[in-house]
A and B are shown apart, each in its own frame.
Chain A
Amino acid sequence: MNNKAKDNLLHSLNIKLAERPQKIAVARESGNKLVGYFCPYGTEEMILAANLIPIRLAFGGDSESISAGEAFLKGHSCPYACSSIGNKKLSINDYYNSLDGVCIAQTYDSMKILGDYYQNYFKLPVFPLGLPRTHNALRSKSHAFDYFKNELKLLQTRLGGFSGKTATDFKMHQAINLCNRIRDKLLFLYKLPQDRNTPIEWRQILKITQAGFLLDRADYLKELEGIEKALRNKSSDKGLDDKRSRLMIVGSLIGIGDEKILDIIEQTGGNIVADCVCTGSMFLRKKVPTFGILSAPIDGLTERYLYNVPCPFMIDKSRRLSRIVKTAKDYRVHGMVYYNLRSNETWRSEFKAIKDVLYRNLSIPTLLIETDYSSEDKEEITEKVKSFLKLVGG
C-alpha cells in the first residue's frame, strides 16, 4: 500500500483522534469523568460499565517527560514509568490533564509506585487492582480466581461510587461485547501480515491499535469496521517481491510516540510482521467469555484477564514461551527483535529464556535492544539492526 492509500485508510481515524481532546473536554463539562489506566490488566470493561471514559495512558517516546518523572522515581527507572509520572507533572498532554482518576493494576514494582505518586502528589483518586502472579496454566491455584474476582468486584463498586452510576451486570455485558468486538477486529488486522500479500503492514496496525487507547470505544469500533471493509480483497503493492527480513518484535510496551526502534527497523530494511508487546497484539488473543445474558460477567472478566497469555510479571512462563514460538512460526519470521526499555526488569529477565527457546525450536536468532526514549543511541542501534538484518537475511 503506497503512502497515499495509507493516508486514505486512516483519514477518518486521524480526524477522530484530532477531535478527541475537545470531545473529552465537553463530556467532562457535562459531568462525565475520565479514568486512565496504564496496563491492559486495568480492565477497561469495568471503567466503561461504570459510565466512565477509559483512556489507556500508553504514551512513550518523550524524553522530556522522563526527566520530569525522574524527580519522583529515580534516574535509572523504567522510562515508561518515569514518563507516566512526568506527563502528569508537565501538564502538556491533554489526556493527562483531563484525568479524574486512575486505575492501576498491581503488576511490576514501578507500576505499583505510580499509584503512590498519583494519590499522594497529584491528589487523584487511585483504584488499585490486585492481580495474582503465581497462578499457572494448569490452574492449580483455584483460589487465585476467587481472589481476583473479589478484586474486580471491589473495583466495580469503587468505580460505580466514583461515577455515581452503578456498573450493573447489564452494563458490564454491553461493555464486554463492545470490547470483544474491538478485539476481533484488531485480531483480523494483525493476522493480515502473515501473508506476504498483506494489504496493511504491522506498523500501521500498531498505530490503529494505539488510536483505540484514546478514542471513544463505540466510535472506534465503527472505524475498525470501516478499515476492515476497505482492506478486504486488497493486497500488497509489494506482494511476493517483498524481500525484506520478516521480524517479530517482543518485549516492553511500545508507547504512543515511541517511534525510535520502529523507524530504525524500517529505515534499515526490516519488516516487522508480528509482535508480542502489550500495546500490540499480545493481549488480544483471549476474548471475555460470555455465557449468555444471565451469566455473571465478572466471571468472564476474571477468566479472561487471569488466564490470558500472561505478561512476564506473572511467574509461569510456559504459555508465554509457547505463544511466542507459535507466533514466530505462523508469521514465518526470520528474526526477533527483543525491545527492552532500560530498567524494565520484568521483560529483561526473560530475554534469555525467550531467545533460547526460539533458537532451539525454529533456529530464529534474536537481537536485544536495550534503550530509552532519548535519541543518543540511535546510531548505535542502527548499526546493530543493520548487522542483524544481514545475519537473518530475507
Chain B
Amino acid sequence: MNNTEQSIQNTVRFDTKLESFNDIITLFSDNLNRIKESGKKVIAKSPLFPAEPIYAAGGLAYDPYLYEVIPALIKGKRHLIGKATDAGLSSDLNFCNLIMAGAFISGENEISVDAHSAACGFWDDQISNTWQMMAEASQKPIHFWEVPRFDNNTEKWAINFLIKELEQYFEWLTNQTGNSITENSLREAVRMGNLIRQDIIELNQLLQNQEILFPALEYYITQLMISDFAQNPERLHVAYQKLIQELKERQLNHSKPADSSEKAIRIFLTGEEIPDIRIWNQIEDYGGIIVGFDSRMSLYYKPIKEDGPIIENLACWIYGMPSSMPTAQRMNSTISFIKSQKPDAVIISSIAGSTIFPESNTLISQIIQDELGVPIFYLETKFPFEIVKPTYQELEAFIQNLKDGKNRG
C-alpha cells in the first residue's frame, strides 16, 4: 500500500456519534455476505438508471461503479487501471471506469456478478465502451438498453421507444433470473423504490436547515447507495428512516458535531462523484458544510407514478431524468434543487478523463452564476490523488475567503 492509500484509510473520519449511520455503512460493506445468503442472481447495472426492473425480476442490483471503485481505491489496487488498458481501454478514460473495468477483467472484482446491464443515453460514452469490455472479459451476458434524447417535441415516440426498450430488457432479465417481471412485481418494486426516493428527498430537505446536521462524508455515501438499493431495498429504507429520525432529533436538540461552526460556508456540489473521499472531511475542516450533491439526483428527482400502467409510468419517469437532458435543460431542472439548499458557494466536480460533465462546465457555471450569483470552485479529481488540481490549498483559500467575507458581513 502506498502513501496515498494509507492516508485515505488513516485520514477519513466518520461522525461516531451518528449511530444510525452504522447500519448504512454496514449495508455498504457487507454486501458479499448478503448476496451469498440471498442465493439470487446478481445483475450489475450502470449508475444512472433505476434498479426497479432488476428487483422486479427477483434479482439483486449491483452498481460496480460504487462498490468496486471505492474499495479498490482504499485498498490501493491501482494496478487495475493497467489491467483495463492492457485489455484495450484507453488510459485517457475516467480512471474510475478503468478501475471498475480492471476489476472485472482481472477477476479481482469484489462481487461476482451473473450478468451486466447498462443504459446508454445522453451521458458518458465511456459507459458503453467500458461495460462492453467488462462483460466480454468476464464472459458474462450483457444487455444495453437505450434512453432517447430529451426534447419536448419528441416525447410521444421517445416514450414508445423506451417502453419497447424496457420490454426487451425485462425479457432479458427474465432469462437471466428465471423469474418473469409481472405488472405486480414491477409495481411493488416501484413502490419500494419510491420509499427510498422519498427518504433521500427528506434527507436533502434536512440539509436546508442552517445548522450542520449531517456530515459530508456520511451524506455522500448515503446518497450514492440509492443507485442499487444496496441489494436490499427494504433494509436500506429502514436504515434511511432511522437516520432521518436521528438527524431530526439532532435538529430538535440543536446538537451538532463538535467542529461545526455557525459561520460555516454552505457548499453545494454539482457534477461528478469525488473518488478521493478525503475531500469531504477536508471541506468541513476548512470551514465548509455540504448542503447538497446532485451526482445521483436523477435517480430521485421525483417519485415514479404508481397508479396506472406501470411500465409506461416508468418509461415517462426515465425520459424525464435530468441526466438525459441537454446541459441547459438539465440545469434548468436541477437549479431549483440547488437553490432550495441555500448554498453560499457551488463546487463543480469532475473526474479527469470524463467528457460530458467537464465539457459542459462552462455552460453550467454560467447558468449557476445567472441563477444564484454565488462563487464557484472547479474541482477536477485526478489519479493518483496527489496531483489533484486545483490543490487542497486552493480549496481551503476559497472557503477561507468566503468565511472572511461572511464574518465581515
Residues on A lying within 8 angstroms of B by beta carbon are 71-74, 76-77, 81, 106, 108-110, 112-113, 115-117, 119-121, 128, 130, 132-134, 140-141, 143-144, 146-147, 150-151, 154, 313, 315, 342-343, 345-346, 348-349, 351-353
Contacts and interface: CB of A to CB of B under 8 A. Distances in A.
Interface in B103-120: 120
Interface in B148-163: 148-149, 151, 153-154, 156-158, 160-161
A117 B328 CA distance: 10
Contact of A130 (B123, B154, B359, B363): B154
B149 A345 contact: no
A289 B156 CA distance: 27
Interface string B40-54: 000000000000000
Given A109-B125, A134-B146, A147 B133 contact: no
Contacts of B360: 113, 116
A53 to B, nearest CB: 25
B151 A143 contact: no
B356 A113 contact: yes
Interface string B306-333: 0000000000000000000011100000
B164 A143 contact: yes
Interface stretch (B23-31, B68-76, B83-91): B83-91
B122 A315 contact: no
Contacts of B326: 112, 115-116, 128
A304 B271 CA distance: 37
Contact of A106 (B87, B92, B122, B366): B122
Please classify how large the interface on chain B is, using the bins under 10, 10 to 19, 20 to 34, 35 or more.
35 or more
Interface string B116-136: 000010111110111011000
A151 B257 CA distance: 54
Contact of B144 (A81, A108, A119, A134): A134
B157 A146 contact: yes
A134 B120 contact: yes
B362 A128 contact: no
B361 interface: yes
B355 interface: yes
A352 B355 contact: no
A133 B355 contact: no
Given A315-B128, A345-B90, A150 B361 contact: no
A313 B125 contact: yes
Given A74-B358, A134-B144, A146-B161, A345 B154 contact: no
B90 A348 contact: yes
A128 B90 contact: no
Interface string B227-251: 0000000000000000000000000
6 contacts: A74-B359, A119-B328, A121-B363, A141-B165, A150-B156, A349-B126
B370 to A, nearest CB: 11
Contacts of A351: 88, 90
B189 interface: no
Interface in B140-190: 144-146, 148-149, 151, 153-154, 156-158, 160-161, 164-165, 168
Nearest to B153: A154
Contacts of B327: 113, 116, 120
Contacts of B328: 116, 119-120
Contacts of B120: 133-134, 315
A346 B120 CA distance: 13
Contacts of B126: 345, 349
Given A134-B146, A345-B125, A110 B359 contact: yes
A349 B129 contact: yes
Nearest to A113: B359
Interface of B: 87-90, 92-93, 120, 122-126, 128-130, 132-133, 144-146, 148-149, 151, 153-154, 156-158, 160-161, 164-165, 168, 326-328, 353, 355-356, 358-363, 366
Nearest to B92: A343
A166 B345 CA distance: 49
B362 A72 contact: yes
A150 B355 contact: no
Contact of B154 (A112, A150, A348, A349): A150
A133 B146 contact: yes
Given A132-B146, A315-B120, A348 B359 contact: no
Contacts of A143: 160-161, 164-165
Given A112-B326, A343-B92, A345-B90, A73 B359 contact: yes
B157 A150 contact: yes
Contact of B355 (A120, A134, A345, A349): A345
B88 A349 contact: yes
A155 to B, nearest CB: 11
B149 A71 contact: no
B379 to A, nearest CB: 14
A315 B356 contact: no
7 nearest interchain CB pairs? A352-B88, A349-B129, A143-B164, A150-B157, A147-B161, A348-B90, A109-B355
Nearest to B132: A315
A253 to B, nearest CB: 15
A353 B129 CA distance: 12
Given A147-B157, A147-B158, A130 B165 contact: no
Contacts of B362: 71-73, 117
A113 B326 CA distance: 8
A367 to B, nearest CB: 15
A71 B361 CA distance: 10
Contacts of B164: 141, 143
Contact of B133 (A77, A121, A141, A349): A349
Contacts of B168: 140-141
A113 B362 CA distance: 11
Nearest to A343: B92
Contacts of A76: 92, 353
Nearest to A157: B153
**Which of A119, A130, A353 has the largest count of B CB atoms less than 10 A from its CB?**
A130
B151 A128 contact: yes
A72 B365 CA distance: 11
Contacts of A121: 363
Contacts of A343: 92, 355
Given A113-B327, A116-B326, A128-B149, A77 B359 contact: yes
A72 B327 CA distance: 13
Given A345-B90, A348-B90, A109 B359 contact: yes
A352 B122 CA distance: 25
A342 B90 CA distance: 10
B160 A146 contact: yes
Contacts of B144: 134, 315
Contacts of B90: 345, 348-349, 351
A74 B93 CA distance: 14
A150 B218 CA distance: 46
A313 B124 CA distance: 11
Given A76-B92, A349-B133, A352-B88, 6 more contacts: A106-B149, A109-B355, A147-B157, A151-B157, A343-B355, A349-B89
A119 B367 CA distance: 14
